[in-house]
């Protein structure tokens, strides 16, 4: 299990991303993936009010699935506000309204982790943070997280929360994976200073580490193909070679190795990975128990051009 920083929550070290539910996975398949994840010991599910329709289709699918389970109390459900197109802001009225709407769609008494999905520079921080604090005090939300903030804005928000005695962000969800390393130079120092649990999104870089995208390979039919294939132009081939070698040594998939690498990076608690089929999920789950050696870590990190 992984501890989420100062939140006190203990969770499975792989968070199941719900962004594909209702998009590349229909409701029947989404339920199968959710069932398989929980059967394997998983207990941490991530979604958002904007996945993938403005009215939270992913949340609704998860909510209907949750309503049929008897183990709801052991599951940790995270969702977000401030994304999408229609309500991409963090005005207090948006935060308060959308939290209650998300709770209804998810069919839960309280949202375990509630994220500010994107920073909103047009709304004063103290107003947004006050609304998040109100939700925690009312019991609508248990813990708070931040995503897609610059280091400067995140530091400012955390300082204001501490200064005014408001409920604090304890979880950070940044874009971070083996081929996307900007986090290490920007947000990592903030996460270390404030003891934030880091839950990287796009942990599998739009599917690139799975090995589907290779130099000279056939075109892949996927909604994320253009995002993943771009890494071949920025040194990704070397990463694939290293992933293949380490995966072979451990008899696991390259995707599992990519997630295991993240799990052994500073501050990372539970990378977020989505699966549109049970078969994809089965390739990811071994990462939870996989321990890479120092040589493995150095090989992977070096291939990605890092330290």
pLDDT tens digits along 30-85: 999 999 999 999 999 999 999 866 567 999 999 999 999 999 899 999 999 999 88
Tens digit of each residue's pLDDT (9 = 90 or more) over 252-277: 999 999 999 999 999 999 999 999 99
pTM above 0.75, yes or no: yes
Please provide the distance, in angstroms rounded to a whole number, between the alpha carbons at the two ends of the chain.
27
Q: For residues 124 and 114, give the distance between their C-alpha atoms in angstroms, rounded to a whole number.
A: 19
Residue appearing with tokens 């963090």 = 90
* Confidence bin at 235 (pLDDT 50/70/90): low
Question: Measured on CA atoms in the order 291, 292, 297, 303, is the torsion positive or negative?
Answer: negative
Catalytic residues: 51
DSSP result, 239-273: HHHHHHHHHHHHTS-HHHHHHHHHHTSTTB---EE
Pick the CATH number of 2-303 from 3.90.226.10, 3.20.20.100, 2.60.40.1930, 3.20.20.70: 3.20.20.100
């Amino acid at each position: 299990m992984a501890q989420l920083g100062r939140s006190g929550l203990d969770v499975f070290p792989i968070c199941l991303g719900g962004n594909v539910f209702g998009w590349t996975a229909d409701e029947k398949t989404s339920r199968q993936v959710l069932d398989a994840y929980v059967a394997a010991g998983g207990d941490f599910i991530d979604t958002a009010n904007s996945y993938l329709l403005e009215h939270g289709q992913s949340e609704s699918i998860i909510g209907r699935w949750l309503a049929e389970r008897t183990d709801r109390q052991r599951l940790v459900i995270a969702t977000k506000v401030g994304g999408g197109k229609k309500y991409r802001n963090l005005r207090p009225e948006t935060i308060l309204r959308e939290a209650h709407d998300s709770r209804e769609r998810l069919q839960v008494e309280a949202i375990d982790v509630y994220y500010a999905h994107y920073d909103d520079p047009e709304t004063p921080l103290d107003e947004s943070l006050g609304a998040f604090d109100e939700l925690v005090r009312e019991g609508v939300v248990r813990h708070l997280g931040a995503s897609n903030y610059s280091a400067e804005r995140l530091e400012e928000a955390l300082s204001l929360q501490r200064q005014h005695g408001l409920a604090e962000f304890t979880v950070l969800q940044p874009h971070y994976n083996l081929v996307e390393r900007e986090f290490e130079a920007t947000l990592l120092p903030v996460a270390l200073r404030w003891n934030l649990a880091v839950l990287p999104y796009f942990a599998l870089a739009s599917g690139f580490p799975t090995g589907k995208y290779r130099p000279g390979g056939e075109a892949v039919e996927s909604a994320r193909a253009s995002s993943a294939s771009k890494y071949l132009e920025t040194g990704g081939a070397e990463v694939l070679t290293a992933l293949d070698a380490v995966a072979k040594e451990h008899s696991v998939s390259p995707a599992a190795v990519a997630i295991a690498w993240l799990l052994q990076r500073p501050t990372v608690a539970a990378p977020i990975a989505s699966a549109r089929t049970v078969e994809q999920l089965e390739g990811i789950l071994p990462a939870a128990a996989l321990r890479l050696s120092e040589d493995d870590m150095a090989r992977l990190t070096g291939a990605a051009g890092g330290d």
